[in-house]
Structure 1
Amino acid sequence: MKKVILITGASSGIGKETARYFAAKGWNVIATMRSPEKETELTKLDNVLVTKLDVQNIESIKSAITAGISHFGQIDVLVNNAGYGQMGIFEAAARQQIVNQFEVNVFGVMDTIKAILPHFRERGKGMIVNISSGAGKFTLPMLSMYAASKFALEGFSEALSFELSALNIKVKIVEPGGTQTNFNQASADVFAHDASLTDYDPFLAAAGKMFDTMKQASITSIEVAEVIYKAITDGTDTLRYAIGNADFNQRMNARRQMEDQEYIDSIKNGFVKYLQQ
């Protein structure tokens, strides 16, 4: 019997490529998105069910899971991919922007997991893959809200992996960085900024220069899909899988290897030089 995977946020980027990748590997795929009526590619694949799921709407989560089980008979893996990055100045962010960041990146993940766990418990097995980010391991200027949501996701996922291990349900975390998707544009569209907060102007200018130096070759969504496939099929209890460009890998290694304050100071010192220019 073919295995079945449910993917949230499958309308573009990593989610869409993961749906394609697993379909090509012979899996049955439940590709979920907020506006399935707009999808024209995945609907052409015989082993893909495209259906509505908005992680901010619990009823749509339950309906998508029910539809998937009804269509394919079971669900073996849940990939929580839906998410976005609320970038910008924390003081300039509207409270609703902050709430939305956590509703999508954290509470939406929790609600989706809670909705599928009865099915996994009934079957005596299952797997959950949460798509995190390097921002769940290290922070940078203007990432306070996004990093907060991903740090929360990392802690939740790690603790949950202990709870569910006794039920033969595995939890995995994939941490992409520097990926070629529409993520940056989506984040730019909701950038938190207030022109009246002129005290932040030197910071914003320095942050811009800092981010310019970080632009390196990006990895593709297909490469991330390959790592997701490895995480699901490698037969291990490995919790975290990181994949990214050279800058991402350098920062991840620094966070792992440096003392905490040493790492914090390195980021501050690297940033201060742009303030002084």
Structure 2
Amino acid sequence: MNNSFDEQMKRLKEEYNRMPDQTTPDRIWAHVKQEKGKRRIRFSWLGAAAGTVAAASIAGLLAVSQFNLPFNDGDKGSEQAPYDERENEERENTEEEVPDENVPEESETDPQETRESQKDISYMNEGMEETAVFKLLDEPGFSFTTYIPEYFEAEVTEDKEIQLYAAFTEDQEPTESPVWTIQEFSAEDEPLEEKITEIQEEYEAEGYELVQEEHDENLLFGNYAATFEDTGNAYLSVILLENNGTVIKWEQNGPPEMADGLAAREQVVMEEWEWE
């Protein structure tokens, strides 16, 4: 790409030399090289494509260069002072330090503050695509936000546990018991590995048996997941997440008749999960 670019520049310079002189070819050539450098800086993220764009536009640059470059003193054809390459390098260094107006600055606003209070989200439920309204779950004191179904009710207990009661429609009464509970712990006080051992012992003491578990290398969401079954064939699942010194426990324990609907909506919660 560079060889092709330089060959085009050489031919353009030769063509320019045959044009009526209003400024020196050396000065124009130096200006072209300067513009080439500026384009390399501005379009570095485009890779090789940038060189092609720049080469195609240089012909136009040469045609109008006499209007963009200052004229030298003296008559046409008179000897001109040599172009100072050091001055060119200093100018390029100065231009590199000037922020590009076309590149947006990083916003200082916390992205969590700009999340919509509710939005329509499509998801798959029993092989069919459905679209429903989901509302933002953003509880003070917790290190995450996500979206939950519009008709779910959320309560925060004194123990800093988010309890979510399910309802799939406006007319449906929320469940009497929470279908999801979310707790947050300090990883310093309760490291992830200790939390895994703790929940296994906790649920086994309540009569549950561990039937499946996965660690983060096999998970698309979370760092640990386990499913427990009680003597009545009821299932309960737990997901543990770790981020920046925080461990979150998300327990999923809904009525069997709502299992498919809850599983579909859990996918939305996972996809919309963002850490603060």
More strand by share: 2
TM-score band (shorter)? under 0.3
Structure with larger RCO (C-alpha < 8 A, sep 6+): 1
More helix by share: 1
Work out which of the two has the higher radius of gyration on C-alpha atoms and give 1 or 2.
2
